[in-house]
């Protein structure tokens, strides 16, 4: 039995789907307010709970062999990225879980002070490594699935909003490849107690993304490219009314202001360990848009 947190999220949904396609047992941790009927129809157990309630975590871990922690935090890094994962690790240990897969983030070890999600994930990585549990830590770059709504908007308008440096590098990862890697982590010996950077096959510049959209939809991109200063201005103004939101936006600012890509060596290590060929962003988008 796998327990998947964030099962209704962009990644979690794909993990549950793939587990069920392989006829494996999975328990999806969801909130009552989540849209989980699709997971249920695929044959997943549904566990209704709140990741901020320790009792729910304890109950969800009963009878589970593997955990994949794939939840996001929606601005509550302290409560969800940090606290819920620490509790989940403790409960996993108490329940005798065999392997814990943690979805972290690329660049987590660079010490970004203004990025609460990065700080929380780094602390969880350290806690997991010291826990005595078997683990795999995956540090992905940005998910290709996040670009699907932007591509859809581009298809209709031809417009792409690119904040910050267009030449900054990224290696967007296929969310389907990441789901497969997360699942396979629990039974590939070379993945045990390891950390992997996870990126797609190409190192792209951010300005390549609207160009790829343009090729797929046969449309000349109109790129709106405000400097990061505009983002900073909006963030400061927001801070006057809502300091918490200002802090939470530090993670987004860090993402906009830095490069997040995997080296060729890191991708090769991934491909040889998991016997996978990482997909390019263009191939991923063409697959989803059927073009
Ligand atoms: N997206 C990226 O580009 C990216 C890049 C690197 C790393 N990551 C990491 O990868 C993981 C998955 O990201 P994602 O983009 O797939 O996440 P996502 O789409 O933002 O999904 C967040 C999930 O967490 C659940 N959740 C939030 N608060 C909860 C609570 N209190 N109790 C129970 N469930 C709760 C949400 O449930 P509801 O349906 O109820 O809202 C949802 O299923 C995250 O850890 C993220 O930090 C993401």
Confidence category of residue 291, pLDDT binned at 50, 70, 90: confident
What is the reported pLDDT for 244? 87
Confidence of residue 82 (pLDDT cuts 50, 70, 90): very high
Domain membership flag for residue 158: no
Closest-CA residue to 69 (of 22, 113, 23, 133) = 133
In a domain, 254, yes or no: no
Output the pLDDT for position 272: 98
6 CA to middle of ligand 1, Å? 5
Is residue 103 lining ligand 1, measured as CB closer than 6 Å? yes
Percentage of the residues of the chain whose pLDDT score is greater than 90: 96
**Per-residue pLDDT reduced to its tens digit, 188-225:** 999 999 999 999 999 999 999 999 999 999 999 999 99
What is the spatial distance between Cα 25 and Cα 66, in angstroms, rounded to a whole number? Answer: 10
61-74 pLDDT, tens digit per residue, is: 999 999 999 999 98
Atom of ligand 1 nearest to the CA of 142: 3
Report pLDDT for 231: 92
Kindly tell me if the per-residue pLDDT of 279 is higher than 90.
yes
Q: What is the mean pLDDT of residues 241-250?
A: 89
Q: Is the dihedral of CA 112, 129, 57, 178 positive or negative?
A: positive
What is residue 60's predicted lDDT score, i.e. its pLDDT?
A: 98
Read off φ and ψ for residue 171, nearest 5 degrees.
Answer: -130, 80
Single pTM value for the model: 0.96
Rounded distance from Cα 218 to ligand 1 centre (Å): 32
Cβ atoms of 250 and 116 closer than 8 Å = yes
Instruction: Say what the pLDDT of residue 51 is.
Output: 98
Q: Is the CB of 31 under 6 A from ligand 1?
A: yes
pLDDT for residue 273: 98
Ligand 1 atom having least distance to the Cα of 35: 39
Which of 71, 91, 95, 85 minimizes the C-alpha distance to 127? 85
109 lines ligand 1 (CB under 6 A): no
Rounded to the nearest whole angstrom, what is the distance from the C-alpha of residue 205 to the centroid of ligand 1?
25
Q: Can you give the pLDDT at residue 179?
A: 98
Which CATH number goes with the domain that contains 42?
3.40.50.720
Supply the pLDDT for residue 247. 86
Q: Is residue 241 part of a domain?
A: no
Residue with the smallest CA separation from ligand 1 atom 11 is 70
Kindly state whether residue 22 falls inside one of the protein's structural domains: yes
Per-residue pLDDT, 33: 96
Instruction: In whole angstroms, give the CA distance from residue 208 to residue 192.
Output: 35
Does 186 reside within a domain?
yes
Is residue 214 situated within a structural domain? Answer: no
Give me 208's structure tokens. Answer: 């390549």
From 3, 4, 6, 251, give the residue whose CB has the most ligand 1 atoms within 8 Å, as the site to mutate: 6
Cβ 88 under 6 angstroms from ligand 1:
no
- pLDDT score of 281 more than 90: yes
Of the chain, the percentage scoring pLDDT greater than 70 comes to 100
Close Cβ partners of 272 (under 8 Å, ≥ 6 residues apart): none
83 close to ligand 1 (CB < 6 Angstrom):
no
Residue in 163, 136, 129, 283 with CA at minimum distance from that of residue 215: 283
CB 61 within 8 A of CB 95: yes
**Residue 252 belongs to some domain of the structure:** no
**pLDDT for 71:** 98
- Per the structure, how many domains does the chain have? 1
| Cα angle value 27/137/68 (rounded, 5°) | 5
Q: Per-residue pLDDT tens for 91-136? A: 999 999 999 999 999 999 999 999 999 999 999 999 999 999 999 9
Which pLDDT score is estimated for 220? 97
Side-chain half-sphere CA neighbours of 233 within 13 A: 6
Neighbour-count burial of 232, counting CB atoms closer than 10 A to its CB (0-12 exposed, 13-18 middle, 19+ buried): middle
pLDDT per position as a tens digit, 116-127: 999 999 999 999
Q: Is residue 17 part of a domain?
A: yes
Task: Give the position, in ligand 1's atom list, of the atom nearest the Cα of 140.
Answer: 6
Closest residue by Cα to atom 20, ligand 1, is 72
Residue 9: CB within 6 Å of ligand 1? yes
Q: Which atom of ligand 1 is nearest to the CA of 76?
A: 28
Q: Which pair of tokens denotes residue 268?
A: 């090769």
pLDDT band, residue 54 (cuts 50/70/90): very high
**Owning domain of residue 63:** 2-143+173-199+261-276
**The ligand 1 atom nearest the CA atom of 143:** 3
Ligand 1 center–CA 217 separation, angstroms: 29
- For the cut 90, the answer to whether the pLDDT of residue 86 exceeds it is yes
């Amino acid at each position: 039995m796998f327990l998947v947190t964030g099962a209704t999220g962009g990644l979690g949904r794909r993990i549950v789907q793939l587990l069920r396609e392989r006829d494996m047992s999975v328990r999806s941790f969801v909130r009552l307010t989540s849209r989980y009927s699709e997971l249920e129809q695929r044959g997943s157990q549904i566990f209704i709970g709140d990741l901020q309630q320790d009792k729910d975590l304890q109950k969800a871990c009963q009878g589970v062999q593997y955990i994949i922690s794939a939840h996001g935090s929606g601005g509550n890094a302290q409560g969800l990225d940090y606290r819920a994962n620490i509790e989940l690790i403790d409960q996993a240990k108490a329940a005798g879980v065999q392997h814990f897969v943690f979805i972290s983030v690329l660049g987590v070890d660079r010490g970004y002070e203004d990025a609460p999600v990065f700080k929380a994930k780094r602390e969880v990585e350290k806690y997991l490594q010291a826990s005595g549990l078997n683990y795999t830590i995956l540090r992905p770059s940005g998910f290709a699935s996040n670009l699907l709504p932007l591509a859809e908007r581009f298809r209709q308008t031809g417009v792409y909003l690119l904040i910050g440096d267009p030449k900054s590098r990224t290696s967007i990862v296929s969310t389907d490849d990441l789901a497969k890697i997360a699942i396979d982590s629990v039974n590939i010996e070379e993945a045990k107690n390891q950390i992997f950077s996870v990126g797609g096959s190409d190192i792209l510049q951010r300005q390549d993304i609207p160009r790829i959209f343009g090729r797929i939809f046969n449309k000349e991109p109109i790129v709106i490219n405000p400097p990061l200063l505009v983002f900073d201005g909006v963030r400061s103004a927001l801070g006057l009314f809502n300091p918490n939101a200002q802090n939470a936006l530090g993670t987004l600012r860090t993402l906009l202001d830095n490069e997040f890509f995997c080296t060729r060596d890191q991708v090769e290590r991934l491909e040889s360990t998991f016997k996978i060929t990482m997909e390019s962003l263009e191939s991923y988008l063409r697959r989803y848009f059927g073009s």
